[in-house]
Amino acid sequence: MAKKKKPEEGRTHPVNPNVMGLQAQVVEQPITETLEINYMPYAMSVIVSRAIPEIDGFKPSHRKLLYTMYKMGLLTGKRTKSANVVGQTMRLNPHGDAAIYDTMVRLSQGYEALLHPLVDSKGNFGKVFSRDMACAASRYTEVKLAGICAELFRDIDQDAVDFVDNYDSTMKEPTLLPTSYPNVLVSANQGIAVGMASMLCGFNLGEVCRTAIAYLKDPNCDLTETLLGPDFPTGGELLADETALEDIYRTGRGPVVVRARWRYVKSDNLIEVYELPYSTTVEAVMDKTADLIKAGKLKEIADVRDETDLSGLKLAIDLKRGTDPEALMQKLFKLTPLQDSLSCNFNILINGTPRVLGVREILEEWTAWRVDCIRRRVWFQLQKKKSRLHLLLGLGEILLDIDRAIRIIRETEEDAAVIPNLMAGFGIDETQAEFVAEIKLRNINKEYILKRLTETEDLENEIADLTDLVNRPARIRKLIAKELAAVEKKYAVPRRTGIVTGGALPDVEETIPDYPVHVFLSREGYFKKITPQSLRMSGNQKYKEGDELAFTAEASNADELLVFTDRQQCYKTRLADFEDTKASVLGDYLPAKLGMDEGERVRFACLPGDWAGSILFCFENGKAARIALSCYQTQTRRKRLTGAYSDKSPLAGALHLTEDREVALFSTEGRALLVNSSAVALKATRTAQGVTVMNLKTKYRLASVSFADDTAVVNRSRYRVRNIPAAGALLKPEDRGEQQLDLLD
C-alpha cells in the first residue's frame, strides 16, 4: 500500500516577504541607464557581429561558412551534401541550420544573387528574381567552393590575417579573409542593424580591378572613367545619371534606377521580359500588372504569364490588336516594378566602427588593409626562408668535414648525446644539429652537398629581395596591382547590366483611346459609360429601386470628370478609368470607385472640358457663388481636392456654366426666382461664400436650382428679376410642373 502524503508534501506555498522579515522594494532606474545596460550591448552586437559587412566584403555568417568549406577541402575537392557543410559550420556559427543554409543559398551559383558566386552548387537553390521559387532542402543539394574563392584564401595560411577563438574556444577562425581583389565592391551585400543599415550594390569585377589599379597609380584618378556604374547579376538596364553616380562615388549614398530588358515578338504579338531589376521579383511585377488591369489602367494587355524555365527568366505579356509595344512598356516602366530604384548605402565596418564611405574612401581603406596583408605574408615567407637558410648554414659547416661528423656520431655512446656532441664539435646550435642528425646516410654524397650549397645562395638572394619588399610600400603596391591584373584576366566577365546614358527617360504621357461615349450618373451615385453603338441597342437605363437619373452628357473617352460631394470635396478622375458598360447594368458606385470617406455622398458632377467655364454653387441660405473651373485644374495628378466649395451652408445645387444663362431658384416656401448667372460675380477662390441671391424667411431654405430652359415655368416674366437679392414670386399652378431632377435633395 502506497504511503499517504502529508498535506504539506508536494505543495508549494507563496512566500510573503513580510513574514520572512523582508520588505519588498521597488528600485527606480533611469531610462538612460536601462538602455545602456540592456539595449546597447545588443545593438552593438548586431552592428559589429551580424548585419554590417567589413572591408573584405563579408558579414561574419558569410566568412564562417566559407572558411568551414575551405577547411573541409571543398576548394579543390568534390562536392558534398549541403547538410554536411551546414553541420560543420555550426562549430563556428552558433545559429540554427536554416539560417546557415539560407546564407549558403544566397552565395550559390544556382540562386544567381552574385555576379561571381562563391559557392559552386548542384540542385535547386531557387532564384533571386522569384519570390515563390523555393530552394530544395539541404539534404538534396550539393556544394563546393567556386574557383574564385582561391583569391579569398590565397594567403590564409601565411599569417596574412589574425585568427581568434570560436565561440567555445575549441578552434580558430579568421577575423577577415585576405581577398586579393576589392570583394567589398564586387559582391552585393545588404543588412539592417540597429539604428543603421547597409546596402552595397555590386560592380563589375573587371571594372573594379581596373579602377583599383588606377587608384594605386594615382589616388586622385577619375573613378568614372573605369567604374562605369553598378552591375547587377539579374541584368537589366541602368539609367545612368553622371551627376548621381558621381555623388554616390563621393558620398556612398544615393539612388540608382534600373529597368527591365524586353523584346517584342511580332509573330505572336507579345512582349517578352527576360531581365528584371535586381530589387524586384517576377511575382511582384505580375501582381502589380494584374491590379492595374483590374483597375482598367492597362487595357492594352490581354494576358500576363510567367514562362520561366531552365533557359532562364521569361515574362510573357500578350497584347491586344493595335497596341504599340514601345508606348505600353513606357507605361509599365512608370506604373510597375519593371523600373525600380535601388538606394545605395555604403556602410562598412572599419576596425569595428561603422562608416559610410565613398568608392574612393573604400579603395583607400582596402588598399591600406591589403598592403598590411601583403606585408604580413612577405614577413611570414621571409621568416621561413631565414629558418631554412639557418639550417643550411649549419649543414654547410658539417659538410666541410663530413668524416669528422660521422666519427663524432659513431663514437657517441648514447643517442641523447649526439646533438650536444655535434654542437660542440662544429659550433652550431641545437636546431642546426638536429637537422644534420636527421640526414639520411644515402644523402651523404657530392651531388647532395652541391645542391644544398646552391640552395643556400638562392635563399640568400630571396631573403634580400623579400627584405627589400617588406620595407618598400611602393613595391607592395605594385605587387597588389599585378595580382589585380591577374584576377581580372582570369575571372572577369562582361557586364550584365547595360547602361543607358542621359539619366531617366522622359515621362511619356499615356495614350488614351479617344472615342465618343455617353455618361449617366444616378442620384445615388452610380456611374455608367456607354458607347453610342451599345446605347442604340438598348436605351432603357437600369437603376436601383428608388434611384433615378441625375446627370447625363455626351463626351469623349479621354475627357476628365469632376465629382463634388456633400463633404466639400472634389474628386478628379478620367472617363478612361471606367469600363465601357451597358444600359442594363447598375454601373460603378462612385463612393467606392473613387475611395470616398465613409458616409460621403455625391452631390454634383461635371465634365470640365477645356477648363474655360465656371460652376454656380447655390446654398440653402439663399447665397450663390460662381467659381472658375480653372480653380480645380492642378499641375499634378491629384485625385482629391479638399475645400472644393464653401462649408458655411449646405449645398442646395450646382450648375456647370459654359456661358451666361438664366437660372431658376426654388425655395421650400413655393417661391421661384429667375436670374441671369452674370449677376453673380466670378470668384477665383474655391471657398468663397458668395452673395445673397434669394431672400428667404427664417423657416424656409433654398431647395433646388436649375437652368430656366429645363424647368416647367411658363410665365417666366413673373419670376424674372434684374437685381439681386430678391424674394421671388409664389409659383402659379401652371408653373408647378414636374421640375428637372438633379443631385440636390
CB 693 within 8 A of CB 665: yes
Q: Quote the cell numbers at residue 422.
A: 655535434
Backbone angles phi, psi at 131, to 5 degrees: -80, -30
Residue in this structure with the C-alpha cell 508549494, named with its chain if needed: 12
CA distance 642 to 35: 45
**Measured torsion, CA atoms of residues 443, 445, 447, 451, in degrees rounded to the nearest 10:** 50
CA distance 93 to 69: 13
CA distance 497 to 454: 55
CA distance 191 to 194: 10
| SS3 (DSSP) at 388 | helix
CB 76 within 8 A of CB 153: no
The secondary structure element, H or E, covering residue 564 is strand 560-565
CB 274 within 8 A of CB 496: no
Bridge partner list, 275: 261
CB 123 within 8 A of CB 141: yes
Residue in this structure with the C-alpha cell 535601388, named with its chain if needed: 342
CB 149 within 8 A of CB 118: yes
CA distance 176 to 693: 84
CB 340 within 8 A of CB 257: yes
CA distance 584 to 482: 79
CA distance 148 to 107: 12
Q: Does the annotation count 140 as an active-site position? A: yes
Backbone angles phi, psi at 261, to 5 degrees: -105, 145
- Options 140, 274, 448, 571, the catalytic residue: 140
CA distance 542 to 539: 9
- Catalytic positions are 140
